[in-house]
Amino acid sequence: MPPSEDQQTDELKKAYDAVCKKVLAEKGIIANILKSCVKEFEDSSIDEIVHHCIQGTPEVGTVLVEPDAGITRIQNVQTEDKSSTEGTVFYDIRFTALAPADGQPIELIINIEAQNDFNPGYPLLKRAIYYCSRLISSQYGTVFTKSHYEKIQKVYSIWICTAPTKAWSYTITRYSMKEENLIGQAEAPNSDYDLLTPILVCLGKKHYTELTGLLKMLNLVLLDNISSDSKVKTLSEEFKVTTTPHLEKGVAKMCNLSEGIEKRGISIGKAEGISIGKAEGISIGETRGETRGIVRSIKALMRKSGLTIDAAMDILDVPEADRPRYAEIIEKGIH
């Protein structure tokens, strides 16, 4: 039995996500992320980060790790932590990096996640904090053993969100632990408590030419509908990302898969939109409960077909004058 339209679309999306993670794992792209987001790299050049800081080859969701089973773990390639009590956690991209601190190198364990769903049913920030916690706890048995907690390495979990709410669009937010004296003036070394940092990097609906810095680069790579040649050229000229056959192939595949997903989503969406609309009893402008039905239809179409809110409203023929109201209702529901 041939796969259904939904199954084919899901396979396209899985393939796109896999290629997306590999492109983001390019050292030149990682270097730009580190320089803009991680304070230890603020004064380092892209070239220095690429050639002297990033350790080994960043792994992309390929290594199975079972801490509770006593399996030996390799620090640079651990992309998944599996615990009998905590379930399974997959890391999109994981690697270690050396950064200068007081003239001495320090080792950081860094995790980068690409996230399409800004409202997966829980605060995304809490998941980022959980990932940081797992990155620390999984150091036992590799970075340190017994009571040598002084060897714990600082961790970062950087989340790149492609479809945040309007309030979060085009923001980069970093969270960290801080010392607070309640009584007296005791002072611990910053390195003893500044050990985990979640970061949210949020994009939006703008074209990359309207942006600057890291947001421009990520928007270009992940969201903009332009040729793969143009993307690679801009990455090389503006962001000092070395052009490699692997990068060219990855970006080209991303563009092809994105186009396929869009075409298939629109095709499915037209049929589903009509079906959903009928099921919800939608008749624009007729019933008192129309708003709830239309909102539910828009959200269902976005969820099932992977369309943007604007594309979903296009398919449902929502009048232009009514669109801001529905968009606002859906965004408020996201919070």
Are 74 and 175 part of one and the same domain? yes
Of the chain, the end-to-end C-alpha distance in Å amounts to 41
Residue 113 identity: E
pLDDT at residue 50 is higher than 80: yes
In a shared domain, residues 87 and 226 = yes
For residue 193, the surrounding DSSP H or E stretch is helix 190-193
The answer on 320 and 190 residing in a single domain is: no
Supply the pLDDT for residue 84.
43
Q: Has residue 9 got a pLDDT over 70?
A: no
The structure's pTM equals 0.75
Mean predicted confidence (pLDDT) in 184-207: 94
| Same-domain check for residues 233 and 160 | yes
pLDDT of residue 74: 34
Number of folded domains in the chain?
2
- 326 is in which domain, residue-wise? 267-334
Per-chain mean pLDDT for the chain: 81
Domain boundary residue among 185, 209, 243? Answer: 243
Q: Is residue 272 part of a domain?
A: yes
Does 12 fall in a domain?
no
In a domain, 162, yes or no: yes
What pLDDT, on the 0 to 100 scale, is given for residue 69? 37
pLDDT of residue 271: 52
Q: Is the pLDDT of residue 96 over 60?
A: yes
Per-residue pLDDT, averaged over 24-45, amounts to 95
- Specify the pLDDT at position 153: 93
192 and 272, same domain (yes or no): no
pLDDT reported for residue 199:
97
Helix axes 213-222, 27-37, angle to 10 degrees: 140
- Of 243, 258, 292, the last residue of a domain is 243
Q: Are residues 71 and 119 in the same domain?
A: yes
The pLDDT, as a whole number, for residue 78 is 47
Task: Give the residue-averaged pLDDT of 244-261.
Answer: 84
Residue 297 confidence class, pLDDT cut points 50, 70, 90: confident
Q: Are residues 139 and 201 in the same domain?
A: yes
Residues 6+ positions from 90 with CB-CB distance below 8 Å? 61, 79, 80
* Interval 86-100 mean pLDDT: 78
Is residue 2 in a domain?
Answer: no
Q: Do 213 and 92 lie in a common domain?
A: yes
In this structure, is residue 104 part of a structural domain? yes
Confidence tier at 5 by pLDDT (50, 70, 90): low
Mean pLDDT of 84-109: 76
pLDDT at 117 over 70: yes
pLDDT tens column, 132-169: 998 998 899 988 999 999 999 999 999 999 989 989 99
Task: With a cut of 60, say whether residue 295 has pLDDT above it.
Answer: yes
Per-residue pLDDT, averaged over 42-51, amounts to: 94
Same domain, 108 and 225: yes
Burial class (CB in 10 A: 0-12, 13-18, 19+), 295: middle
Q: Establish if 6 belongs to a structural domain.
A: no
- Token reading at 24: 């983001």
Based on the fold, state whether residues 230 and 319 are members of the same structural domain.
no
Please indicate, yes or no, if residue 192 is contained in any of the structural domains: yes
As a whole number of angstroms, the distance between CA 282 and CA 171 comes to 36
Considering the domain boundaries, does residue 278 fall inside one? yes
Specify whether 329 is located in the same domain as 216.
Answer: no
Average pLDDT over residues 227-239: 95
Over pLDDT 90: what percentage of the chain? Answer: 47
| Secondary structure (3-state) at 289 | coil
CB-CB neighbours of 78 under 10 Å: 23
* Domain shared by 222 and 315, yes or no: no
Give the per-residue pLDDT at 46.
95
